Amino acid sequence: MADNIRFARKQALSMEEVVERYIKQMRIAAGLNTRLIFEAWDECSGAGPFTLRRFFRDGKLYITLSSAVIRDQLYFQRDVLVEKINARLNGNSLFTQDNRSVNYVKELILK
């Protein structure tokens, strides 16, 4: 009787696929995407040390800066910064692109 039992072989999964499945199963994609957006802001803008608060909702990234001079300099670079942030997110394998609640940055609001 034991000779008739066969186990179906499962395909081997890459670590990237395992991590993607884990993120979806644990439902942590929105929080992870938000953290990745904040990290991309720090790296692309160079204003991480001057950033007091970060908030992301509905495609809008709200940034509160401690320096009015830096805020004025970054104000004119908003469109370029949005493109750089989205390019960095696009290159990150942990960023979940099909997440409805937290997706790419559409607008940058500096305070």
Are 61 and 107 contacting, i.e. CB atoms less than 8 angstroms apart?
yes
Which residue ranges make up each domain of the chain? 14-110
- DSSP 8-state secondary structure symbol assigned to residue 94: T
21 Cβ contact list (under 8 Å, min separation 6): 13
pTM: 0.85
Report CA-CA distances (Å) from 60 to 14, 32, 64, 109.
Answer: 34, 16, 13, 7
pLDDT per residue as tens digits for the range 22-77: 888 899 999 999 999 999 999 999 999 999 999 999 999 999 999 999 999 999 99
pLDDT per residue over 10-21, tens digit each?
A: 788 888 888 888
